[in-house]
Amino acid sequence: MYTRMDARDERGVEYWNEYASESAANTGQAPLRSWRIGAKLTRLAFRERFTFAELVAIKGAEDAAPDPQMRYALRVLADSLATASDVDPANPATISGVQMLAKFKLIAPERVAVILAPVG
């Protein structure tokens, strides 16, 4: 995959485009997908990307995980979400937080990409 920022709509909003390869991008082929730069989700919309079972597992691990570092990390993630005005799925902190949930086995690894999918 090859991704680059190279689109701007009539209002000046910039978009990332993802191509099959760099040559596909350079030869003017249509992108595989496109998303708006800086598009954000409300906290509720972000939470709704998780299944109910995932939310229960995350909340339960905040209080009952045997590893104290895991409990503290989950509490910090929860605090960060609670204090955020919105959530940017492309933000490095958001990405590392969701990846951490997979590392802790609270979400399946394949769910990371679904949860972090760009806002369309």
* pLDDT band per the 50, 70, 90 thresholds, residue 86: confident
Cβ of 107: how many Cβ atoms within 10 Å?
23
Distances in Å between the Cα of 25 and the Cα atoms of 13, 15, 21, 70 are 20, 14, 7, 42
6: which 2 tokens?
């190279």
Domains of the chain, by residue range, sit at 2-36, 43-115
Q: Is the pLDDT of residue 21 over 90?
A: no
What is the pLDDT confidence band of residue 113, given thresholds at 50, 70 and 90? very high
Please tell me the pTM assigned to this model: 0.69
pLDDT band at 119, cuts 50/70/90? confident
Residue 30 has pLDDT above 70, yes or no: yes
